[in-house]
Amino acid sequence: MTFFVKNLQTVDGLISNLYRDISVEEMTRKITGLFELQGYKVIDQQFGNLILEKGSRIKRLLLGAFTTYYKFSVTIMPGAENELTVNVFQQSSGMSGGLIGMNQIKTELQRLNFIFANI
């Protein structure tokens, strides 16, 4: 069962989606489980705030685009009528990987948009 209702906004570095009939705790568990399977380290900062991180920042600085490093923050905010707004913010620009690294971040953000639309 998908809880996704609609995409509220997608701009450079931000995805905002609306969900219905799911609690903050359940959404946190779904996101954590889904992204840990994909190799992300999920840091739960309580109250619907998560950090998704994949790869090594040090390796990215040393090897550039030859290694991956993604970092995104997720905020889950309850709304009216049993709705949730989930915002995904890009936390790394990819500049340490040059133009290739920046394109890798954009591509990963598009992939995340698809994943979050299927929750």
Q: What is the pLDDT of residue 53?
A: 96
Q: What is the pLDDT of residue 64?
A: 84
Alpha carbon distance 83, 85 (integer Å): 7
Q: 4-117 — its CATH code?
A: 3.30.310.80
Q: What is the pLDDT of residue 37?
A: 96
Backbone φ/ψ region at 90: left (φ over 0), alpha (ψ -120 to 50), beta: beta
Domain boundary assignment for the chain: 4-117
For residue 59 the two structure tokens come to 């390796």
The rounded radius of gyration (Å) of the Cα atoms in the chain is: 15
| pLDDT means over runs of 10, the chain (119 residues) | 90 93 94 96 92 93 89 94 94 82 90 94
Q: What is the pLDDT of residue 65?
A: 84
Q: What is the pLDDT of residue 15?
A: 96
Q: From residue 111, give the alpha-carbon distance in Å to each of 24, 108, 117, 118.
A: 22, 5, 10, 11
